């Protein structure tokens, strides 16, 4: 992740008696972003879905809508009305957490309003002063924010390099570090679509008496036995904590942190984002519990997505994209590295004009020089749509050659 260097270094001095609009510094920053082709704007959802994280098509499912409708009919409120430690704790929240702990094989689970705040809560609460937190350099921005605000000493390790993780631990110990070690990774990385070496990292955690915190945002509901994620073989261990985002393959919103009971209880008592936030909507808890049941009951969704991922790889080879240096991720997240910011956004706009909702991703979300199209494969499209997309991408790639 690159540092944010978009703010102006300084402002020009003004003539005596002149006044400057209090908004000018923000306008200068926005103009600077526009010059670098890095200005973000909101755009409506249009065209075929190659941008969302609704991987197995649950967000618009009739079954989830029916579950919410039944809950409303039985008096479930839309809003919680308070924090979990006040009157905001509902039977729906507790039912979801109980079912999530059972589903994922953990002692306990806690429901948060979103994945960002869950990452932030864990990393500002559990790693203590005097501990070491080793982060994969490509991990989510939310983990970086949590680490920055937390109390542990923080270092980064080269992406998916288990030896680099161990080197950081040994260096810290050699320098006198005596606290507990925490390691945090994603199981499927959100911008590259590659997977973490979780078995090796879990073994490393065991060797160094460390905790492993795994963000399963893009794996929950898609990978692992029964759709339980790639960390499923390690859940239930006292030194493994797992975050399961609910707003991606599970089709609702929020996030579940699953792990040892004592860690969850500690967060109820010490995690400020949990203590001082209004609880998530009880209706969202109902929808999420239904989503877990659908993941359990409808394995054909995962199987269909797996076929679509394989088919997309074949289409990328057929259209010559692989020969142009586009690598296969092997997951539902397929990055197409372009490099140049302006060309990335030109390609995205061209595809959108042809009816494909593909978005460009630029620094600082990804490292400098790696601006990309992030193609997301979901059950909201079929093989015919995938074929048309990659045909269009191959044509536009040639049309926008530098």
Distance CA 249, CA 97 (A): 18
The predicted-structure confidence for 54-71, as pLDDT tens digits, reads as follows 999 999 999 999 999 999
Cα dist. 143→122, 137, 149, 393 in Å?
A: 9, 10, 10, 33
Radius of gyration of the chain from Cα atoms? 22
Tell me if residue 218 is catalytic.
yes
Which candidate in 248, 290, 329, 376 is catalytic?
A: 248
Distance CA 187, CA 202 (A): 12
Mean pLDDT of 109-138: 97
Reported as a pLDDT band with limits 50, 70 and 90, residue 325 is confident
Which candidate in 92, 186, 216, 235 is catalytic?
A: 186
Tell me if residue 93 is catalytic.
no
Which candidate in 53, 239, 281, 341 is catalytic?
A: 53
Give yes or no on whether 41-55+299-399 and 76-296 have one common fold.
no
What per-residue confidence (pLDDT) applies to 12?
54
Which candidate in 140, 144, 208, 244 is catalytic?
A: 140
Sequence spans of domains, the chain: 41-55+299-399, 76-296
Tell me if residue 190 is catalytic.
yes
Tell me if residue 186 is catalytic.
yes
What per-residue confidence (pLDDT) applies to 19?
72
The predicted-structure confidence for 127-164, as pLDDT tens digits, reads as follows 999 999 999 999 989 999 999 999 999 999 999 999 99
SS (H, E, C) the chain: CCCCCCCCCCCCCCCCCCCCCCCHHHHHHHHHHHHCCCCCCCCCCCCEECCCCCCCCCCCCHHHHHHHHHHHHCCCCCCCCCECCCCCCCHHHHHHHHHHHHHHCCCEEEEECCHHHHHHHHHHHCCCCCCEEEEECCCCHHHHHHHHHCCCEEEEECCCCHHHHHHHHHHHHHCCCCCCEEEEEECECCCCCCECCHHHHHHHHHHCCCEEEEECCCCCCCCCHHHCCCCHHHCCCCCEEEEEECCCCCCCCCEEEEECHHHHHHHHHHCHHHHCCECCCHHHHHHHHHHHHHHHHCHHHHHHHHHHHHHHHHHHHHCCCCCCCCCCCCCCEEEEEEECHHHHHHHHHHHHHCCEECEEECCCCCCCCCEEEEEECCCCCCHHHHHHHHHHHHHHHHHCCC
Per the prediction, the chain carries an average pLDDT of 94
Tell me if residue 290 is catalytic.
no
More confident residue, 398 or 400: 398
76-296 CATH pick, 3.40.50.11540, 3.30.465.10, 3.20.20.70, 3.40.640.10: 3.40.640.10
What per-residue confidence (pLDDT) applies to 3?
40
Tell me if residue 341 is catalytic.
no
**Per-residue pLDDT for 334 more than 60?**
yes
The predicted-structure confidence for 250-288, as pLDDT tens digits, reads as follows 999 999 999 999 999 999 999 999 999 999 999 999 999
Site of tokens 């692992």 = 224
41-55+299-399 CATH pick, 3.40.50.1860, 3.90.1150.10, 2.60.120.10, 3.30.70.3170: 3.90.1150.10
Residues 6+ apart with CB under 8 A from 42: none
Reported as a pLDDT band with limits 50, 70 and 90, residue 46 is confident
**Per-residue pLDDT for 10 more than 50?**
no
Q: Work out the burial of residue 375: count CB atoms within 10 Å of its CB; fewer than 13 is exposed, 13-18 middle, 19 or more buried.
A: buried
Tell me if residue 248 is catalytic.
yes
What per-residue confidence (pLDDT) applies to 318?
95
Lowest mean pLDDT among 9-13, 38-42, 174-178: 9-13
Which candidate in 61, 142, 187, 190 is catalytic?
A: 190
Mean pLDDT of 244-254: 98
């Amino acid at each position: 992740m690159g540092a944010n260097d978009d703010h102006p270094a300084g402002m020009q001095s003004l003539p005596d008696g002149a006044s400057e609009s209090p908004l000018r510094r923000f306008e200068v920053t926005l103009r600077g972003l526009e010059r670098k082709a890095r200005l973000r704007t909101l755009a409506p959802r249009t065209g075929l879905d190659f941008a969302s994280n609704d991987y197995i098509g649950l967000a618009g499912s009739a079954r989830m809508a029916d579950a919410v409708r039944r809950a409303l009919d039985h008096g479930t409120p839309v809003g919680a009305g308070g924090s979990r430690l006040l009157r905001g704790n509902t039977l729906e929240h507790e039912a979801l957490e109980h079912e999530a702990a059972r589903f994922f094989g953990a002692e306990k689970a806690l429901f948060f309003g979103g994945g960002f705040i869950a990452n932030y809560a864990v990393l500002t609460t559990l790693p203590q002063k005097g501990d070491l937190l080793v982060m994969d350099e490509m991990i989510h921005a939310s983990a970086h924010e949590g680490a920055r605000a937390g109390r542990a000493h923080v270092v980064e390790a080269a992406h998916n390099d288990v030896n680099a993780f161990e080197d950081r631990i040994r260096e810290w110990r050699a320098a006198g570090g005596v606290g507990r070690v925490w390691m945090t990774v994603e199981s499927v990385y959100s911008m590259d679509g590659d997977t973490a070496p979780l078995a090796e990292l879990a073994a490393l955690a065991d060797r160094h008496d460390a905790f492993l915190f795994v963000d399963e945002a893009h794996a929950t509901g898609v990978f692992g036995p029964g759709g339980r994620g790639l960390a499923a073989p390690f859940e239930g261990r006292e030194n493994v904590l797992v975050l399961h985002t609910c707003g991606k393959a599970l089709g609702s919103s929020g996030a579940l942190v699953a792990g040892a009971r004592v860690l969850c209880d500690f967060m109820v008592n010490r995690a400020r984002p949990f203590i001082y936030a209004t609880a998530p909507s009880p209706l969202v808890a109902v929808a999420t519990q239904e989503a877990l049941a659908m993941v359990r009951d409808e394995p054909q969704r995962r199987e269909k997505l797996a076929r679509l991922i394989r088919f997309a790889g074949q289409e990328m080879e057929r259209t010559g994209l692989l020969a142009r240096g586009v690598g296969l991720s092997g997951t539902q997240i397929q990055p197409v590295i372009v490099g140049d910011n302006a060309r990335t956004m030109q390609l995205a706009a061209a595809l959108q004009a042809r009816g494909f909702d593909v978005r460009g991703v630029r620094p600082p979300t990804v490292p400098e020089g790696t601006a990309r199209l992030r193609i997301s494969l979901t059950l909201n499209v079929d093989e015919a749509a995938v074929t048309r997309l990659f045909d269009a991408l191959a044509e536009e790639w040639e049309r926008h050659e530098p």
